[in-house]
Amino acid sequence: MAAPAHMKGPAGEKRTVELPVPRQPGVGGALAKPCIVFVDDRLDALHAFERLLKVDAHRWNLVFVHTFEQAFVAMAAEPADVIVASIDAGNSADIMSLERLKADHPATVRMVFGAPALRENVVRVTPLCHQYLVKPVDVLRLHERLDRALAVRDLLTEPALRSVVGDTESLPSPPPVLLELRSALEARGTSATQVARIVEQDSALCAKLLQLANSAFFGTSRKYTAGSVVNIADAVILLGMATVEQLALITGLFVAFEENEETLGLSPGALRRHTTLVAEIAANLMSSRRYAEEAFMGGLLHDVGKLVLASRFPDSYRRVPPMARRRRVPVWQVEMDEYGASHATVGAYLLACWGLPRIVIEAVAYHHHPSALGRTHFDPLGGVHVAEALVQEMDAAPNDPAGDASTWLDSVYLDRTGVLGRIGVFREIARDVARRT
């Protein structure tokens, strides 16, 4: 179970906060080491993986098999946390194996790799996997992706989160344009023009890229000024490949949910406006360009778990915000009571499955209580935490306890990072950003 911590609540009382703790061997059936299954019909490829990942044998249980059938046998004996499989996106047998894998092992993170795929094949594979990698696989990048995917094991209580997101039919698939972008970016020598051609297939993503590239924060360089970026290739150059990739994810995600808004217990459009404002404020609180970009992405994605919970439990989730207002507690606390997991951990799980950077995953997972990570410097996680509290303050009705950001701020973290006395400055920055937005 989660370790309890205490923070000051809206009425001055203490309230329990869920703080993730590392899983221990043997507790609740948890594995002592995460299990990763590799599938490739080429013996030399399996030997290469085994040789290059030998250094991780002490912390990962690595299983190497030639076929999906062998993988299913191995996973029946020991469930896998991650499967890494070589496929042909145009091969019906491989597609059927992925469908079976998704149905029989919904909690397993599915990474597949193959040749650069045609768009129609990417569309076929997208709903069946979490990540699509391009051959030849860069082992260092794969190692990093495995670390990201496995990081959430310690974030999530067992079995609460698995029961929420284990049914992958209720989870969104990575947008096809995201997998196409990753396919292009994994290949060496991909140009901004090539990336732009992929982006131009998605009008919503084009609009978001141009909007961001022309914003006051990003649209400042020797070559570009705010309002001067008019084509996608220039936007790609200005924003950088990583930012474009993550924007593809969040844009596709919101579009997918907005198409099904009537069945959800919340408004994706309203949530998008909220997360965009949080993102812009968080970016403006940072002291460096790199931190600002990471805080911006963390802000855009910090509430993605609400969309997941709303799609998984549409009837009951409608009652969560009103219940939180009546009880005068945070929404995440009602989520914990109702589902055994909060939108923060649900969102972090999904993003880890999709291979987002660890710093973004942490900003999503801990944006309610950043002190849990023990950081001593003000970073993107802190930016998202403060920005959300300030947005809630600006949005609160008169006499609402939420109208004071200090009610929800993690004073332990702010004091430890030396910014507790700067909340007034941060508040002015937030108001200025809100006026310009």
> What is the DSSP track for 143-209?
HHHHHHHHHTTTTS-TTHHHHHHS-GGGSPPPPHHHHHHHHHHHSTT--HHHHHHHHTT-HHHHHHH
Domains 28-151 and 174-436 share a fold: no
Query: Residue 161 — very low, low, confident or very high, per pLDDT cuts 50/70/90?
Result: low
| Matching CATH number, 174-436, of 1.10.3210.10, 1.20.900.10, 1.10.287.110, 3.30.360.10 | 1.10.3210.10
Per-domain boundaries in the chain = 28-151, 174-436
Can you read off the two tokens belonging to residue 113? 């790799």
In eight-state DSSP terms, residue 437 is -
Can you read off the two tokens belonging to residue 319? 């009652």
pLDDT, residue 399, reads 66
pLDDT, residue 427, reads 95
Domain 28-151 sits in which CATH superfamily?
Response regulator (3.40.50.2300)
Query: Residue 24 — very low, low, confident or very high, per pLDDT cuts 50/70/90?
Result: very low
Lowest mean pLDDT among 160-174, 273-287, 320-334: 160-174
Greatest extent of the chain over all pairs of C-alpha atoms, in Å: 68
Among 164, 166, 160, which residue's Cα sits nearest to residue 18?
Answer: 160
pLDDT, residue 8, reads 38
Lowest mean pLDDT among 13-27, 278-292, 327-341: 13-27
Q: Greater confidence, 398 or 270? A: 270
pLDDT, residue 377, reads 94
pLDDT, residue 274, reads 92
Please check the confidence at residue 122 and state whether its pLDDT lies above 70: no
Q: Greater confidence, 314 or 170? A: 314
